[in-house]
Structure 1
Amino acid sequence: MTAPARTLPAPTGAPLSVADLAGQFARGTGYLAACTMGLPLAATLEAQQRDQEAWWTGRRSPVDYGAIVEESRAAWARSVGVPTSAVAIGSQTSVMVSVVAAAVPDGADVLCVDGDFSSMVFPFVAQAHRGVTVRSVPLAELAESVGERTAVVAWSAVQSATGEVADHAAVVAAAARHGSLTVCDLTQAAGVLPVDAATVDVTVCHAYKWLCSPRGAALATFSARALAELRPVQAGWYAGESVWSSCYGPEMHLASDARAFDVSPAWQAWAGALPALDAFSRLDVAEAWTHASGLGDELCRRLGIAEQGQAIVTWPDAEARDVAAMTAAGLTVSGRAGRARVAFHLWNDGDDVEAVVRALRT
């Protein structure tokens, strides 16, 4: 196993290719589970080590972490095509979605996707006591299922269990025709698939998968409509217009932009997230998708199944025999909803495809 480069190959702000970032990861790991948990960049590992040493020796303060969070916020804004003022930071996607769910009118209709990740569904289901109805349909029928009564359309850009990619433009257009608020989870997409948050009212993303950040760093974006209609029900000191003047109540002066939806950051997580978020903001993500989905299709051809055009390749494996065979061969894969699930990201190459095929044939 070769050691990855410890620093990024280009100065901050310069574009990065798949090859540039691939050199930032440990090689020969057999890791095919970015959809479960990403691997850290060498720069992230180094940043966390520096942070732990600074903490250990008493050279860290909340003000230091505040600066790191703001740089991370700006990097995410660049990645998804929105102004920095539209970005809020958090730690879990379900909490961010719950802000929307709490604002859904009594008796409203919410449209979700069959089998979508629970963090995109449960917050709305939890509003049943107010008469809120959650209706789910197959992903392919999502756009056509939006109707006059649909208050919110909520979906994942890429489905966790199957890797299917939503027809983003069609869903957004249908929601616009009916005046429905749109909520999209980018957790299984950002970092490998080009995404555009500017067309959605609310996006949420946990950065610990394809964005290769520590768990505990999550981000959301809010449109002008969302900022006007939603309430920051989880508001705390970090949501204040002046953070350090918002530590005590009862007077509340929240930020006038998306920072009003901030939650207090998990400091050490953001120290590691910043190098990754900056790097992915400079990555040619279209190239990343070509790389990852190309490996996925190569695996499909080798296994004799239909090409899926996805970075996450799945197939029926109800008894988890294929998952067990790949695990026994030293590969890290996952199984979800009765299917074997193999994910390709920047650190993967043709050798990983060959390793899967060899494990299954054995």
Structure 2
Amino acid sequence: MTTSAWAPAPGYLNASTLGLPPRATATAVHEAVDAWQAGRACAVAYDRHVQASRRLYARLVGVEPSWVAVGSQASVLVAEVAVALPDGARVLTVAGEFSSVCGPFEAQAGRRVSVAAVPLEDLPEATERLRPDVVAFSLAQSADGRVVDADGVRAAATACGALTVCDTTQAAGWLDVDAAAWDVTVCSAYKWLCAPRGSAFLTVRPAVADRLSGHNAGWYAGEDVWGSVYGPGLRVAADARRFDVSPAWLAWVGTQTSLEVLLDLPVDVRRRHGADLADALRAHLGWEPAGRPVLVVPDADGRVVAALGDAGVTVASRAGRARVSFHLWNDGDDVDRAADALSAAGAAALARTPV
């Protein structure tokens, strides 16, 4: 069964690309747009949505709100770390990592910042062996949903003193995330957190906050936000708010509501609902369970994605594979629909080793 907090969306198996808003989120955003159109919107009043979202996200990932900064996209927040690295710093990442994680570091090549990549399963060993200055990775991989060996990476990074930068975009919302386990985390909220695009979060361990640059500092990063509109003389906030990026207001109206809906659900429902549906589909295909809501099917020629689309199933094409992702609006009918379409696509495409 699925939760009634979402409107029915038969065949939409694409949370990894774009989460769907709960009913309450759609209503809140519609009302906010109506208020804006009628001239009843207030710039100062929007701030309550941002601050509520900060508190709710902190609760979701297990840190204090003072650790949390807000922004718009993951890459902008990762860049807070990248621009603050010393010349010649060495960064270790994952082969096939999402570009928003590794791109900001690669953009520092002119300062001799180097980026090396290893297979996901080798990340702990490579961290121990190469002793990089930074380890940057997604907790759950965008291309296929695989989850990193968090304990192994954390132990190796601690042993060599590497700064850890963890992107939780493909994990927060279904996987238990402990942001306090990492020096820095980033999360775009429009996927598994089901928020409008344009809201993202940064968490910073206070012990490493002074190592970041705050290069995006503007009025919203000020200790007194509305007293920081004009300068010079900006006095930034003492906590992680110093890394805030001026918010896209309407996105935060929806972000607050989506986080409220998610946090109102039992933890086990968030953790198991999509994963159980994905494992049910894996069982249809004769594959072993994986305990995560994402599975991929080889699809170099696009035949599988096309067959799914013809059957009314929306998935994504990523890295030569069809990526199927289940979330809280999905149910057993979606499993059956996808299983029938995948079988019709041809057994040869499904006989390869699954991920």
TM-score range normalised by the length of the shorter chain: over 0.9
1:15-164, aligned counterparts within 5 Å? 22-147=3-128, 149-164=131-146
1:249 and 2:221 matched: no
Per-residue Cα deviation, 1:46-96 (whole angstroms, up to 9, x for no partner):
101111111111111111111111111100111011111110000010000
1:235-314, aligned counterparts within 5 Å? 235-314=217-296
* Amino acid in the other structure paired with 2:89: A
| CA-CA distance at 1:280 after TM superposition | 2.0
Q: Tell me how far apart the structure 2 counterparts of residues 149 and 33 of structure 1 sit (CA, whole Å).
A: 37
Q: Tell me how far apart the structure 1 counterparts of residues 329 and 298 of structure 2 sit (CA, whole Å).
A: 25
| CA-CA distance at 1:308 after TM superposition | 2.9
Per-residue Cα deviation, 1:130-186 (whole angstroms, up to 9, x for no partner):
111101111111111114641111110100101101111221111111111110011
Alpha carbons of 1:243 and 1:53: their partners in 2 closer, same or farther (altered >3 Å)?
same
Structure 2 contact 307–341 (Cα < 8 Å) conserved: yes
What TM-score comes out, normalization by structure 1 length? 0.92
| CA-CA distance at 1:28 after TM superposition | 4.4
Structure 1 contact 193–285 (Cα < 8 Å) conserved: no
Structure 2 contact 219–234 (Cα < 8 Å) conserved: no
Q: Tell me how far apart the structure 1 counterparts of residues 342 and 179 of structure 2 sit (CA, whole Å).
A: 39
Q: Tell me how far apart the structure 1 counterparts of residues 207 and 263 of structure 2 sit (CA, whole Å).
A: 25
Structure 1 contact 108–149 (Cα < 8 Å) conserved: no
What corresponds to 1:4 in structure 2? none
| CA-CA distance at 1:356 after TM superposition | 0.7
Question: Deviation above 6 Å: which 4+ runs of structure 1?
Answer: none
Q: Which moved more, 1:74-83 or 1:27-36?
A: 27-36
Alpha carbons of 1:138 and 1:285: their partners in 2 closer, same or farther (altered >3 Å)?
farther
Structure 2 contact 10–330 (Cα < 8 Å) conserved: no
Identify unmatched segments of 5+ residues in structure 1.
Answer: 1-17
Structure 1 contact 193–286 (Cα < 8 Å) conserved: no
What TM-score comes out, normalization by structure 2 length? 0.94
Q: Tell me how far apart the structure 2 counterparts of residues 117 and 144 of structure 1 sit (CA, whole Å).
A: 21
1:227 to 201, 206, 209: 209
* Amino acid in the other structure paired with 2:25: T
Q: Tell me how far apart the structure 2 counterparts of residues 245 and 288 of structure 1 sit (CA, whole Å).
A: 40
Identify unmatched segments of 5+ residues in structure 2.
Answer: 345-355
1:321 and 2:322 matched: no
Structure 1 contact 188–209 (Cα < 8 Å) conserved: yes
Q: Tell me how far apart the structure 2 counterparts of residues 245 and 314 of structure 1 sit (CA, whole Å).
A: 50
1:188 to 146, 170, 176: 170
Q: Tell me how far apart the structure 2 counterparts of residues 266 and 312 of structure 1 sit (CA, whole Å).
A: 30
Per-residue Cα deviation, 1:91-121 (whole angstroms, up to 9, x for no partner):
0100000110011111111010010100001
Aligned-pair identity in percent equals 52
Cα root mean square deviation, aligned: 1.3
